[in-house]
């Protein structure tokens, strides 16, 4: 009934791989998210997964996200709203960063992040190293 006048552009393979990784490792990501929140609050910005040159965790400062939003004609306004209203005790919010594209990672796990962190009983660096190693195996960016 409604036709699109723009051809669909194929999604980069990493978007699907990142979705699959998040689904498979949501409890570990919730644990890491809570651990980092306990350690730093939001003083360093939002946790990100930078996929270049290989997947690793970074912080995305609020000012950088706001500047990027300005550069893309306010297309990240909803993401900024989620960041401003993020409830780390019940939600996981991260930003996937690929070549020329970002992806919001936002979910509310059945098990709250503080309980996930207790359950994994690992220090933040160990959990981060484990997840980065698994991402390197599961997410391939060309």
Which whole number is the average pLDDT over 44-66?
Answer: 91
Do the domain assignments include residue 4? no
pLDDT greater than 60 at residue 1: no
80: confidence class by pLDDT, cuts 50, 70, 90? confident
DSSP 50: E
User: What's the CA gap between 55 and 70, in Å, rounded?
Assistant: 26
Rounded-to-integer distance, Cα 97 and Cα 39, Å = 23
Give per-residue pLDDT as tens, 12-53.
Answer: 888 999 999 999 999 999 999 999 999 987 788 899 999 999
Domain membership of residue 55 as a residue range: 13-138
Note the pLDDT of residue 75: 82
Answer whether residue 121 is part of any domain: yes
CA distances from 139 to 27, 53, 77, 125 (A): 18, 11, 27, 20
How far apart are the C-alpha atoms of 114 and 26, rounded to whole Å?
13
How confident is the prediction for the chain on average, in pLDDT? 89
Residue 60 in any domain: the answer is yes
Query: How many domains is the chain built from?
Result: 1
* pTM reported for the whole predicted model: 0.87
């Amino acid at each position: 009934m409604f036709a699109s006048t723009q051809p669909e552009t194929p999604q980069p393979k990493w978007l699907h791989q990142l979705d699959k990784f998040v689904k498979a490792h949501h409890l570990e990501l919730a644990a890491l998210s809570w651990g980092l929140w306990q350690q730093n609050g939001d003083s360093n910005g939002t946790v990100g997964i930078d996929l270049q040159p290989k997947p690793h965790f970074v912080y995305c400062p609020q000012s950088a996200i706001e500047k990027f939003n300005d550069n893309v004609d306010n297309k990240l306004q909803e993401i900024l709203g989620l960041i401003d209203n993020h409830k780390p005790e019940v939600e996981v919010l991260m930003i996937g960063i690929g070549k020329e594209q970002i992806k919001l990672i936002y979910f509310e796990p059945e098990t709250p992040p503080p309980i996930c962190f207790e359950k994994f009983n690992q220090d933040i660096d160990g959990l981060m190293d484990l997840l980065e190693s698994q991402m390197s195996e599961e997410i391939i960016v060309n």
